[in-house]
Structure 1
């Protein structure tokens, strides 16, 4: 049975706290091709924001909370990073590391609108235009007539048009309901015969076999013309032209490792966009473009320098819990995030060398000097620790040797005295008494060395 809307009483089934709390995920993120867990993470981060309070979409959840929300092990929160990298690669998220009183934390800045230059679908019409194979043909439905009152015209919202295939106007809520008041005025002009038949017959209409169903041979039983149902306008499809790839892209594409993409195939959109951003740069942010050679060298340093072939191989098992040892699940998204990552605060720095001048980056040089100084201080502290441990072990060995020597001398002296008294004919209790008396005097003259409780290495 087809329902006619609105159905009276529906509002009574709505809970007081409706609508339920929800998180908004822009459609351009859903249609971007990233993994479902990455979309899930965006929704979870968005639920932590409060735009009405600070005017920004900023979230501060911990990685353990994100891991639990994604259904992952809380004991290894670092495994959420691949999905964070996917959001960063498409420009939906920016991550900042901040220092707190208890250590380090991450600050997530969410983007709601597509980034400048976004060349992919932002709504369903664009997505279906780009994916014609996903279109489905909607089956046509045949409307069935609702129950009518005996002796009257059909029980239709707004107008008394019959429900017969091929005749009358269709049972559409939008068109009939809008003419409800107008049709009531028409009802007032019905003749006495029509009113006696059930109160719905129109003037000039003939009675039906059931006692007054007002169906004329040509269509509607109403004296007036039934307005045609209004059709909602189809949303205008906005067609965007494909993004123009910068010069040198083909050269970089040919140098992509085969583990990431086979030769001759098209790159994943996020990796393609990352390469284009590196080649073209961002003048608004004062990020200069790079040459194809510089981009290729950057890709090789990231992929091979961080053991990309081994970590992305099937059956790879991490040897530690370090982030740099975790397996690579999605090669394209990982490489896109890796080549866009910038350790230096200067956007013109290319791994320690300025792109424009070719000189050494002063910021990177300062960081290297500080790292070397910290390494030297750590090495000196480790050497002092080793020397102290060696001195403690030597002192412990000396103390133990002195204790052993004193015990050996005492045993030898006791044996000597015991033998001497036995030769003199002293036996039994008197022998033991004389031996104890002599050894007490001997220990007074030869005190035992003081035992030093020196801790061993690793017990400090």
Structure 2
């Protein structure tokens, strides 16, 4: 039983929404006639017709009763469309086929618009498509082996002998003659009679390719290839297409693929050989203008662009490969000395030893500076241990921050050097280096004495820091040295005396 056997359409007025009207009535209890199935309409258009026709079919008990048309959103849901506005495409397809007829009307005082769908069960006047499956298989001999007919009833063979209602010119009970098959498409015995130009192009394909098509598609003239030939003949003559397929069989590499056993889809290869090239000029035939016989300028430019793009792509790929090789090579060397010492990218033992030795030397230097002080500050009582502790703390902080082995070693090295400089600065400060030599106090100036001459302008210190860089401090001393550099000279003098003794 159909889902629409229930009386779901009560309560509608004549001025509500879209309306569905039966254009004529089927003679058998089937919602979708065979001629619609064989008409070649799209699957969604066929599904829309079946959906509308089923609403008519379940209401045959009372033809006078108004049939509520399903909403466009319901049709979209049946067709699997998210946007119900796309239903119009398949409605127009069914209208062009003659399966339905749509009329607009106004309701609600002319404020709203509705549609009346007139659903046709029998083919319209002038329909020349297939009516029954036998005609379909007659037009597709490649499927004939699959069609096994056991006979049909006389009623099924006379599908077209139904009155075409609403035609206007014919009478109410007049039965139009069944549409005659196309003379150009069908010959005696139901065989397909193709046009001479199509046959000429089909015969131009190499015998080995045609044999391969017969093995895979059971015919050397499948419908897909015939359609491609017919379409190509709209822009080229049969002779030009013959030259095209013969030329492309070799130049496009199909012959080599066939000989190597790599031509898996013979029909697809045949269709591809018929297509127009990539040039936007319709008069271009594989790089040659047909009217003038000269080389196509657009193809020349396209070739230049292709070569330039190909060269750029090759250059980019080459540079990327070189960069990858460099990264791979760097990954194998020591990140500190950048030498391949067999450490697989880790810091080599020589660099580790050198950095640890640098930390130890900084600790020893700080210990020597503090040992020469007369009064040692409490925080520098063990200068060596303090420098080593600061280096270890810096290394641990770097490790927790995610640094690698080299980062940890560098952090420890920098911390040890900074601590050694701080110890040296403390020693210089203890020697009085931070105090400038005070100028002599001036004598009392009598009232009649001349004015005191102005103090000399400060100049930059001529001394050097402990690392050899210029001092740069300002001083007013007569010797041109600041207090820090003067203290450093005194320390050096003491060291020299100790060395002599």
Q: Identify the TM-score tier after normalising by the shorter chain.
A: 0.3 to 0.5
Of the two structures, which has the highest relative contact order with CA contacts closer than 8 Å and spacing of 6 or more?
Answer: 1
TM-score, normalised with respect to structure 1: 0.37
Who wins on radius of gyration, i.e. which is larger? 2
